[in-house]
Amino acid sequence: MRWPHFDFLKPSAPPGEILAVISPRIRSIWVLWGCGGMVSLLLLAMGSCLAALKPALEAGEKEFTPAVERYLARVRAHDYRGAYADFGGDLHQALSELDYVALEAGMHQDLGPLRTRTRAFLQAGADAEGAWGLIVYQCAFERGPGTLSFTLRKEVGAWRIESVKYDSPAFLREPRSRTGSPSPARPPAPAR
């Protein structure tokens, strides 16, 4: 039995003859199989990516809450060193413990204690470094409203805070010196 559509496999066939030998019906079947195979491969790759990312995408407030609550409890108790210890490694590389303690104490001196908070935004995802999350709270502090944002990353099976951002109109008020008295609005005039 002879298969004419495979004649182009002969080493003696000139390049232009290859398409002339293959019937249009066979060419269309090859195109369908090729396209179908590529689509199947693409769907398989997408499915495996989604399966790998599913735990990170399903993360939510209940997974983030223990790390956030632990941080807020330590700050409420003025245990800034303990709060610093709970952060992930990136913050430790970027900021020394003494600098963090001074920064955090200053934030709470300006804002006062946290009175209430309401979740305003939640997002989770994954990147090359692993699973991450972002949770934003609208807060009421003793000295006014503010926003508190936490960026978290999953490290060794546990969520750790990667960064905390405070934002409040209270930061725009007249700055105070460390003694608590208002700073002068402008420097004194030079003596004549």
- Residue 139: per-residue pLDDT: 94
- Residue 147: per-residue pLDDT: 94
Percent of the chain exceeding pLDDT 70 equals: 69
140 has a pLDDT exceeding 90 = yes
Q: How far apart are the first and last CA of the chain?
A: 116
- Residue 63: per-residue pLDDT: 80
The third-level CATH classification (topology) of the domain covering 59-172 is Nuclear Transport Factor 2; Chain: A, (3.10.450)
- Residue 12: per-residue pLDDT: 63
- The helix (run of H) or strand (run of E) holding residue 167 is strand 158-167
Nearest residue to 114 via CA among 77, 81, 87: 77
- Residue 136: per-residue pLDDT: 94
Give the pair of three-digit tokens for residue 79: 């245990």
pLDDT tens readout for residues 60-113: 667 888 899 999 999 999 999 999 988 888 888 888 999 999 988 888 888 889
What value does the mean pLDDT take over residues 171-186? Answer: 54
- Residue 105, classed as helix, strand or coil, is helix
- Domain ranges across the chain: 8-55, 59-172
What's the pLDDT band for 137 if we cut at 50, 70, 90?
Answer: very high
User: Please, which residues bridge with residue 84 across strands?
Assistant: none
Question: Can you spell out the DSSP letters for 112-164?
Answer: -SEEEEEEEEEEEEEETTEEEEEEEEEEEETTEEEEEEEEEEEETTEEEEEEE
Contacts of 86 (CB under 8 A, 6+ apart): 67, 70, 71, 74, 160, 161
pLDDT tens readout for residues 23-37: 677 767 777 777 778
- Residue 55: per-residue pLDDT: 59
pLDDT tens readout for residues 147-178: 999 999 888 888 889 989 999 888 776 555 44
Question: Can you spell out the DSSP letters for 12-62?
Answer: TS-HHHHHHHS-HHHHHHHHHHHHHHHHHHHHHHHHHHHHHHHHHHH--HH
What is the rounded average pLDDT for all residues in the chain? 78
Instruction: Identify which has the larger pLDDT, 114 or 91.
Output: 114
- Residue 146: per-residue pLDDT: 92
